[in-house]
A = this chain, B = another copy of it.
Amino acid sequence: MHEHAPKSKLELTRNQALVFDALADAGGPLTAYAILDALREEGMRAPLQVYRALTKLMNVGLVHRLESLNAFVVCRHPECSSHETAAFAICETCGQVDEFAPDEAVSLLQSWASDHKFALARTTIELRGECSSCHK
């Protein structure tokens, strides 16, 4: 029996599912090359396969890119629509990332953009520091 599932918008291909699962299993951020290494046994062989899957996953809002880490995490709020305005608190000690939705801060940034006639496409908000578990 081959795989003939009809593709809904959220169907993932094999590579996309592999990459998503690897990220989800990690429970934290991974670089593209860390994902690649985790998936060698599943047949993933080249960086491009990972990057392509990541691009798709980001487009559908299942994965975020952490710019200040050059790494990727699964979205904590995949049903929510505001994937363009998520924020992340990144612990520099343990590496854990906490995603949150800073709605008011984003509103203020949108106001700034609007005041300056800047057509805002997406925002990157990343906090660096030490999480409560680490600096206790």
Q: Which residues of A contact B (CB under 8 A)?
A: 67-68, 87, 89, 91-92, 98, 100, 102, 104-106, 108-109, 112-113, 116-132, 135
Contacts and interface: CB of A to CB of B under 8 A. Distances in A.
B108 A132 contact: no
A63 B118 CA distance: 23
B127 A109 contact: yes
A128 B124 contact: yes
B116 A92 contact: no
Given A92-B121, A104-B108, A127 B98 contact: no
B118 A132 contact: yes
Given A87-B112, A102-B108, 8 more contacts: A67-B67, A89-B113, A102-B105, A113-B129, A117-B132, A118-B131, A124-B127, A125-B125
